[in-house]
A = this chain, B = another copy of it.
Amino acid sequence: MTRNLIMAIALGASMAQAPADDSRPASSNVLNAQYPRVHGDNRLTFRLTAPNAQKVQLQPGGADNGLGKGPIDMTRDEKGLWSITLPSAVPGFHYYWFVVDGLNVNDPGSETFFGWGRQTSGIEVPEPGADYYDLHNVPHGQVRLRLYESKVTGAWRQAYVYTPPDYDANTKTRYPVLYLQHGAGENATSWTKQGRAHLILDNLIAAGKAKPMIVVMDTGYATRPGATPVQGATGTPQIPNAFEDVVINDLIPMIDASYRTLADRDNRAMAGLSIGGGQTLQITSKNLGTFAWIGSFSAPLRNFDLKTSMNGVLTDPAAFNKKVRLFWIGSGTGETAIHEAASQLDKALEAAGIKHVAFVSPGTSHEWQTWRRSLNDFAPRLWR
């Protein structure tokens, strides 16, 4: 086939010989792509063939990205191969892209991950000693693509639904449900692709650390018929917005009708990262008859006020403590402002006698490693 010939030629660069060192292709690469590479000490080498470019840079996605601050100039060799080796990176998943003479370009060697409102490159940097999000030889659940019609938006939506390993075999068993949201510029695929939520749950369930549960991952953007999308897919969803009504009026009824759920508040949790955490605090507090378990993963809490935030439900600590089975607030020490706000909230909640868990992820910032750790701490506390 002509096509395959073209492909073999086009992909020549990425099939090049591996260097004689301890580096290996990143696990986030597309199959057989040799670059980017991860060294034994988590130094990273990136490459791009661009003979006609005047300047090629590596751009980590975000100000507190574990790859460092960008843009980072890459070096050209005589054949037009641009490369850079970064110092040891913070473990976890990091968004990045190349900037070629000012143009944002994905790395053809990388899988793509929906973030920043588009499909971007990303690199997985291993964390020594951490294997809770790795693929192990344990029973695995399934992540199901689920189409459903939304009356709120007047359009079809697609959610991803994790069913635990024993779901198909135990046809009489009903399960509690965690609704799990992504951050700004991401979508329903992110908790699986970037977050590895399914592997975290598989491992926790196999170890008996978490009870088997269903996890629902939807896209946190929604627009009413005729309305203009607020800031587009890349901006922060306004709170409250149409997504709130989608969750309550469309998503939960569909999930309870389609899966063997335990369909009451004691068996329904919601958590989310970044703006998804903000959505979680808004939606759960407004609907305490629907949710009893609340997880805020690095939500923006800067202007949090015990009197007015969360629809005022914190003004009556006794009532809140009675109703809410878990109020979980996490942050990473590397996301300074968010961590500071979370620490202040922790103290304020403590002073007010409001039961909660304050989780701190050491050394990680506003990135997926913080949220993987968050899920790994949060999920075992559910349904107890």
Chain A residues proximal to chain B, CB less than 8 Å: 1-4, 6-8, 10-11, 15, 30-33, 50-54, 62-63, 100-106, 108-109, 111-112, 114, 116-119, 135, 137, 140, 142-149, 156, 161, 168, 171, 184-185, 187, 192, 198, 221, 229, 231-236, 258-259, 274-275, 300, 366
Q: Determine whether the beta carbon of A52 is less than 8 Å from that of B116.
A: no
Q: What is the CB-to-nearest-CB distance from A189 to chain B, in angstroms, rounded to a whole number? A: 10
A10 to B61, CA, bound (A): 12
Please name all residues of chain B whose beta carbon is closer than 8 Å to the beta carbon of A114 when the two chains form the complex: 30
Say yes or no: A30 contacts B236, CB within 8 Å: no
The 10 residue pairs across chains A and B that have the minimum distance between CB atoms? A31-B233, A32-B232, A7-B234, A143-B145, A52-B101, A112-B119, A142-B144, A140-B147, A112-B112, A11-B234
Set of chain B residues within 8 Å of A137, measured between Cβ atoms: 149
With A31-B233, A52-B103, A101-B101 in contact, is A184–B3 under 8 Å at CB? yes
With beta carbons under 8 angstroms apart, the residue of B3, B118, B259 that contacts A108 is B118
Within 8 Å CB of A144, what residues of B? 142-145
Q: Is the CB of A103 within 8 A of B106?
A: no
- Closest chain-B Cβ to A66's Cβ sits at a distance in Å of 14
For residue A234, which residue of chain B has the nearest CB?
B7
Task: Give every chain B residue within 8 A of A112 (Cβ-Cβ).
Answer: 112, 119
Task: Determine if A100 and B102 form an interchain contact, defined as CB atoms under 8 angstroms apart.
Answer: no
Residue in chain B with minimal CB distance to A167: B168
By a CB distance below 8 angstroms, the chain B residues around A259 are: 168
**Across-interface contacts of A54 in B (CB, < 8 A):** 52
Contacts A101-B101, A105-B105 aside, 7 further interface pairs with beta carbons under 8 A come to A3-B63, A6-B62, A8-B234, A11-B117, A109-B118, A119-B119, A135-B147
Q: Determine whether the beta carbon of B104 is less than 8 Å from that of A10.
A: yes
- Given A52-B102, A103-B100, A106-B106, also A4-B234 (CB < 8 A): yes
Please determine whether A229 and B143 come into contact, CB atoms closer than 8 angstroms.
Answer: no
- Chain B's nearest CB lies how many Å from the CB of A261? 12
* 19 A-B contact pairs sorted by A residue (CB < 8 Å): A2-B62, A3-B62, A4-B184, A6-B62, A7-B184, A7-B234, A11-B234, A30-B117, A31-B187, A31-B229, A51-B102, A52-B54, A52-B101, A52-B103, A105-B106, A106-B106, A109-B118, A142-B146, A145-B198
